[in-house]
C-alpha cells in the first residue's frame, strides 16, 4: 500500500495496521513524540499517559497478530478531560478537580477501549465545558494550529487542536451548545454530535444534563462513523440512553444523493454571517447540487430565541449539577476554614473560575422563587417551539445545511471580556442541542486564510444520513485534507518526530498548572 500521508485518518491507519505495515506501538510512540514536540505551543493536552498508552498498544498489536482486531484496534486517541478514566486524572479544565483521579471509566471510554483504541492522554477544555474559546481552562488557553494567536473554539478546543495539528487522528468531545461542531469549524476538521441519548452520558461529568452529548472530532466523516458506531448504544446506567439498535454507519457511506433534499434556512444567511464564510458555504451547497441534491429554502422562525433560551436552561442545569463540588463531597477543599460555611464559600470561590461562577449565579437566579415561571418555564416553552420548527422542516427535507459559526477563528482575548459576543458565536449550533438533534461540521473552504465549517443537521437518530451526506461531500472535495501552515512547512506527522528543541517541559503534575 502507498506511504501514509502527513496527517493520516483512522481508516488509513487501520489499513496500515492490518497490513502489518506499521505497529500500534510505533504509531503510539510517534503520537507521543509529536505531542512532546508541538504541544508546548498548542497546550492541547492536560495529561499524558505514555506508559499506559504503550502497554495498550502492545496489547493491540497482540490482538492484531491473532487476527482479532477491528477497524479501531491500535489507533492512538485522546479523550476530552471531561470523561472519567480509571486511574487517570479527570480535571474538567478546573482547579476544582485538578487532583481528581476517577475509579472508573465513562461508558464511551469503556466501549472505545473494548474496540482497541489506545488512549495517549486527556485534552484541554473550557472549565466544566463552559466556553466557546477554550480560554476558561485553569490550565491555560489552547491555541489554534492555523494561527497560534487565535482560538481553536470551545469547549472541546483541546481535542480539536490536537486532531487538526496531527498529534492524534481523533479525539472525543462533548457538545452542549456546539462545543464539538464550533471548534471543528474553527480548526478545519470534522466534528460530530449524535442525537441526544444515542451515546451514553454515564461517566461524562455533567454541565447541562438535558443538552450534553458525547461525540467525536476527526479528520473525516468516515472516521466519525467508525467511532460513533463503537460508542453508541443503550446503557442501563444512563437513564437518558435510547434503547434503540445502532446501524452499521459505515455500510451506507457513499450512497448517491440524487433526489435528496437539503433544507437551507433563510435565517442562517443573515447579516450576522461573515461575508467570506457565506461565500464558502454557498460554494459548498453548489457541490451538493452538482451531486444531484435539491436545495430547498426553509424557515426556522424561532431561531432568534435559541441563544436566550439556552442561556437560561443551561445555567439552571449547571447550577444544580455543580452544587456537588463543595469541598466536602467532591472537589477542591480550602485549607484552614474556621466554619462549615467558610469552607463552602472559599472552596467554591477558589475552585471555580469566573465563567463558571457567572453561569452558576445566573442559573440559581432563574430557578429561584418568584423567577422560575418568568424565566425557566418560559425558556422550556421556547425550547419546544424551536424543536417544532425543526420537526416541521424535516417533513420536507432530508438534512438541513448552513454555517457552523458566524465567523472564522477569532483572536484569543478578543471576546473574553464580552460574554454576550462570546455566546453569540454559538448561534447556529445551539438550536440543534435544544432540539436534541444530530449535527456535523465539515471543512468547506477558507475566509481570510482560516477554515470555514459547513454544518449539516439531521432528524432524530438520522446519524447514518448525516454521515453519508458528509462523506460524499468529502469524496468530492479536498477541504478536509488541507493542513495548517506548521505542517505544510515540514513538520511531518506521519512519522515520529524528535524530542522538542524549544525547551518546553513535558506535561507536569496538577501542581504545575498556572494560576488563572
- The catalytic residue positions are 80, 155, 179
Q: Is the dihedral of CA 488, 494, 500, 501 positive or negative?
A: negative
- Asked whether the beta carbons of 288 and 295 are under 8 A apart, the reply is yes
Determine phi and psi for 89, rounding to 5 degrees. -65, 145
Sheet holding 439-447, edge to edge: 45-48, 118-123, 76-80, 170-174, 214-218, 190-193, 439-447, 450-457, 399-403, 261-265, 294-298
Task: List the one residue out of 515, 514, 354 whose CA is nearest residue 419.
Answer: 354
Helix, strand, or coil (residue 477): coil
Cell of 503: 525547551
For 212, 311, 369, 434, the CA distances from 365, given in Å and listed in that order, are: 21, 12, 9, 21
Q: Residues 57, 59, 62, CA angle at the centre, nearest 5°?
A: 110
Helix, strand, or coil (residue 121): strand
Residue with cell string 444520513: 465
Cell of 67: 487476527
- Asked whether the beta carbons of 453 and 184 are under 8 A apart, the reply is yes
Element at 90 (helix H, strand E)? none
For 1, 12, 59, 68, the CA distances from 22, given in Å and listed in that order, are: 11, 11, 15, 17
Determine phi and psi for 388, rounding to 5 degrees. -65, -35
Mutual orientation of helices 50-65 and 24-42 as an angle, nearest 10°? 150
Amino acid at each position: 500500500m502507498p506511504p501514509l500521508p502527513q496527517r493520516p485518518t483512522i481508516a488509513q491507519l487501520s489499513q496500515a495496521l492490518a497490513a502489518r505495515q506499521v505497529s500500534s506501538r510505533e504509531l503510539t510512540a510517534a503520537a507521543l513524540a509529536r505531542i512532546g514536540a508541538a504541544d508546548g505551543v498548542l497546550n492541547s493536552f492536560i495529561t499524558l499517559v505514555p506508559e499506559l498508552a504503550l502497554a495498550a498498544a502492545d496489547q493491540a498489536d497482540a490482538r492484531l497478530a491473532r487476527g482479532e482486531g477491528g477497524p479501531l484496534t491500535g489507533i492512538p486517541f485522546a479523550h476530552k478531560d471531561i470523561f472519567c478514566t480509571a486511574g487517570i486524572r479527570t480535571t474538567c479544565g478546573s482547579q476544582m478537580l485538578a487532583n481528581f483521579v476517577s475509579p472508573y471509566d465513562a461508558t464511551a471510554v469503556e466501549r472505545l477501549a473494548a474496540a482497541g483504541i489506545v488512549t495517549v492522554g486527556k485534552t484541554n477544555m473550557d472549565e466544566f465545558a463552559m466556553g466557546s474559546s477554550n480560554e476558561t481552562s485553569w490550565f491555560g488557553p489552547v491555541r489554534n494550529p492555523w494561527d497560534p494567536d487565535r482560538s481553536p473554539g470551545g469547549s472541546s478546543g483541546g481535542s480539536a487542536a490536537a486532531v487538526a495539528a496531527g498529534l492524534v487522528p481523533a479525539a472525543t468531545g462533548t457538545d452542549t451548545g456546539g462545543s464539538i461542531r464550533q471548534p471543528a469549524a474553527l480548526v478545519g476538521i470534522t466534528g460530530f454530535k449524535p442525537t441526544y441519548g444515542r451515546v451514553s452520558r454515564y461517566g461524562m461529568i455533567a454541565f447541562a444534563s438535558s443538552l450534553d452529548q458525547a461525540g467525536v472530532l476527526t479528520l473525516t466523516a468516515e472516521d466519525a462513523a467508525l467511532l460513533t458506531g463503537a460508542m453508541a448504544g443503550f446503557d442501563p446506567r444512563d437513564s437518558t440512553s435510547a434503547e434503540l439498535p445502532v446501524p452499521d454507519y459505515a455500510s451506507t457511506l457513499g450512497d448517491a444523493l440524487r433526489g435528496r433534499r437539503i433544507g437551507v434556512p433563510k435565517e442562517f444567511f443573515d447579516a450576522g454571517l461573515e461575508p467570506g464564510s457565506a461565500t464558502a458555504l454557498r460554494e459548498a451547497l453548489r457541490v451538493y447540487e452538482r451531486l444531484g441534491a435539491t436545495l430547498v429554502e426553509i424557515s426556522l422562525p424561532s431561531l432568534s430565541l435559541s441563544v436566550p433560551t439556552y442561556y437560561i436552561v443551561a445555567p439552571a442545569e449547571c447550577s444544580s449539577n455543580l452544587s456537588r463540588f463543595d469541598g466536602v463531597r467532591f472537589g477542591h477543599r480550602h485549607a484552614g476554614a474556621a466554619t462549615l460555611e467558610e469552607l463552602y464559600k472559599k472552596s467554591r470561590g477558589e475552585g471555580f473560575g469566573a465563567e463558571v461562577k457567572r453561569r452558576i449565579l445566573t442559573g440559581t437566579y432563574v430557578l429561584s422563587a418568584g423567577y422560575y415561571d418568568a424565566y425557566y418555564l418560559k425558556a422550556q416553552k421556547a425550547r419546544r417551539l424551536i424543536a417544532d420548527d425543526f420537526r416541521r422542516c424535516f417533513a420536507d427535507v432530508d438534512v438541513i445545511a448552513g454555517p457552523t459559526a458566524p465567523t472564522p477563528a477569532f483572536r484569543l482575548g478578543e471576546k473574553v471580556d464580552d460574554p454576550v459576543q462570546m455566546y453569540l458565536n454559538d448561534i447556529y449550533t445551539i438550536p440543534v442541542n435544544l432540539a436534541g438533534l444530530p449535527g456535523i461540521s465539515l471543512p468547506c473552504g477558507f475566509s481570510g486564510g482560516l477554515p470555514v465549517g459547513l454544518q449539516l443537521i439531521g432528524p432524530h437518530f438520522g446519524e447514518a444520513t448525516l454521515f453519508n451526506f458528509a462523506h460524499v461531500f468529502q469524496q468530492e472535495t479536498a477541504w478536509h485534507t488541507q493542513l495548517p501552515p506548521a505542517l505544510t512547512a515540514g513538520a511531518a506527522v506521519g512519522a515520529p518526530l524528535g524530542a522538542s528543541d524549544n525547551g518546553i517541559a513535558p506535561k507536569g503534575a496538577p501542581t504545575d498548572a498556572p494560576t488563572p
